[in-house]
A = this chain, B = another copy of it.
Amino acid sequence: MPSLRKYLPILDWGRTYNRSAFSNDLIAAVIVTIMLIPQSLAYALLAGLPPEAGIYASIAPIILYAIFGTSRALAVGPVAVVSLLTASAVGQVAQQGTAGYAVAALTLAFLSGGFLLLMGVFRLGFLANFLSHPVIAGFITASGILIATSQLKHILGVSAQGHTLPEMLSSILEHLNEVNWITVVIGVLATAFLFWVRKNLKPTLLGLGVPPLLADILTKAGPVAAVVATTVTVWGFGLADQGVKIVGAVPQSLPPLTMPGLSPDLLGALLVPAILISIIGFVESVSVAQTLAAKKRQRIDPDQELIGLGAANIGAAFTGGYPVTGGFARSVVNFDAGAETPAAGIFTALGLAVAAVALTPLVYYLPNATLAATIIVAVLSLVDLLILQKTWAYSRADFIAVAATILLTLTLGVEIGVASGVATSVLLHLYKTSRPHVAEVGLVPGSQHFRNIDRHEVETDPALVTLRVDESLYFVNARFLEDLIQRRVTEGCAIRNVVLMFSAVNEVDYSALESLEAVNHRLKDMGVGLHLSEVKGPVMDKLKRSHFVDDLNGRVFLSQFDAWQALTKPEAAANAAE
């Protein structure tokens, strides 16, 4: 059943599942579970949801992705950027902390899942390509900065608002008098500890002779150590009574069955953010999955990935979660820990289910500042301001796209930021192709080759202008060519013939066809012939479907040399006779 297996990749890897794969998957699952417990709580906090939502969002979605997804190592669940987008979108329709807020988050996951499934069914994965790399890089960097800033209030123990950098900073400044210094000490120590763990723990352990796998598990468990230490401290010294904000009661339960809100108003208000979240989540997920698959010479199918991620989000919508996607950090950890199949994800989900039932009372005294520290340390690795320098060195247009995306995301919010980024990169592309390279060419003496007259010593004929067009012709550059020919022909009165050399023209759209027709009519009015040479087959087929070739005030030559011979012969003969 190859077609069923295409839509249910689990049938593929499940048939050959064996003990070796099982033990590798199990080890990977233990490591990822340890890493995910504090991370899930933290990202739920970032999304403005109760902490258990983060754990619930990691259970059903992982299992559904394991069934429908094509990547062997991708770990699906709440991620930083999508959590930020969720907070921004849901914050616009409901007040944080209300039941409506949680329901709106379910709706967002439901819409996002539905949109991903639709894109998958219609095989529209390519749409994600309209997000250029500079836009994604700029957006991720700006999101990292926004997320880290949004966590400052938890480190300081103040209540602050805002979805943009200026809003957040000014809100924090306003509430600076509320700073809780015990919270600050916990938050700063936790942040410093986590940075140290990330940078130095593994080398230190390896230096002490600890086996690599254990060193790895211990390093991944760093956040757990911070959680345990700060929780015990807050509990032991009764710091919650000193104003240190804590996670508090988390229900001890498996993921509940939930129903997303489906009122037309809510659906309408969340549709655009859901599309945005879907596309950004998809792009992040696919690039991680492709990178990991390539390392084992495996392939992922981007359209089937849409279905996997769509199913995961639908799952999140009905089990108390919120929008999820394939996360970078957790997938790399999963892969490095030796996960061989999506079964590792299923074991992770089981581990998290156990945690949801058994461990949630233990995090009652966990300070929010510790979770904020976890987030800050995680997202600062997303911030890559070097992209500005790299794109500046490589191409100004790409630099403008990155800079605009970063600036607008920070100052006007994530949705406007990414939308303007896409618009900027599309406009810059159109601008670049609106002025195609057009070279006037002449014959290289003693050959049949034609080269740019500005760069080579070539033969020309004052009565003949040959223009080689180095770009496909379409509406954005159609008029450019029209103007250019007009300018060139009005310059020299001796011009009798114009040849357009189409060797690099892969496409002539209807606008360009009409421009060519206009050029043809104008040149006819001036008594100048218009000819084409080296037209590619598909382009010629298309031109023949119009009247252009019939109306052409000149000929279509197979090769430019034929055109040269036919259009200069009389004069060449005359010259030879002199």
Contacts and interface: CB of A to CB of B under 8 A. Distances in A.
Contacts of A534: none
B510 A395 contact: yes
Contact of A129 (B287, B477, B518, B545): B477
B476 A130 contact: yes
Contacts of A297: 489-490, 525-526
B133 A478 contact: yes
A402 to B, nearest CB: 8
Contacts of A398: 509-511
Interface string A365-379: 000000000000000
Contacts of A433: 472
Interface in A343-397: 390-391, 393-395, 397
A128 B525 CA distance: 25
Interface in A289-309: 290-291, 294-295, 297-299, 302
Given A291-B518, A394-B542, A430 B426 contact: yes
A349 to B, nearest CB: 29
B291 A509 contact: no
Contacts of A429: 474-476, 509
A299 B490 contact: yes
A394 B477 CA distance: 19
A470 interface: yes
A199 interface: no
Contacts of A132: 474-476, 509-511
Given A291-B518, A545-B394, A475 B425 contact: yes
A159 interface: no
Interface stretch (A181-189, A480-488, A556-564): A480-488
B525 A295 contact: yes
A569 interface: no
A237 to B, nearest CB: 50
A504 interface: yes
Given A429-B475, A430-B426, A129 B394 contact: no
Given A130-B430, A133-B475, A426-B426, A395 B490 contact: no
Nearest to A132: B475
Per DSSP, are chain A's interface residues mostly helix, strand or loop, or mixed? helix
Q: Copy number in this complex?
A: 2
Interface in A1-40: none
Contacts of A437: 506
A133 B514 contact: yes
A291 B486 CA distance: 11
Interface string A513-526: 11100100110011
A122 interface: no
A546 interface: yes
User: Which of A430, A514, A521 counts the most chain B CB atoms within 10 A?
Assistant: A514
A175 to B, nearest CB: 33
A133 B511 contact: yes
A507 interface: yes
Contacts of A515: 133
A294 to B, nearest CB: 3
Contacts of A431: 126
Contact of A510 (B394, B470, B507): B394
A304 B173 CA distance: 52
A120 interface: no
A506 B470 contact: yes
A276 to B, nearest CB: 17
A505 to B, nearest CB: 11
Contacts of A506: 437, 470-471, 504
Given A298-B490, A397-B509, A545-B393, A522 B291 contact: yes
A163 to B, nearest CB: 24
Nearest to A527: B297
User: Which of A128, A129, A434, A518 counts the most chain B CB atoms within 10 A?
Assistant: A129
Given A132-B511, A393-B546, 12 more contacts: A126-B479, A128-B479, A129-B475, A129-B477, A133-B475, A133-B478, A134-B475, A134-B510, A294-B522, A297-B489, A299-B487, A393-B545
12 contacts: A126-B435, A129-B478, A130-B475, A130-B476, A132-B510, A133-B510, A133-B515, A290-B482, A294-B526, A391-B510, A398-B510, A471-B506
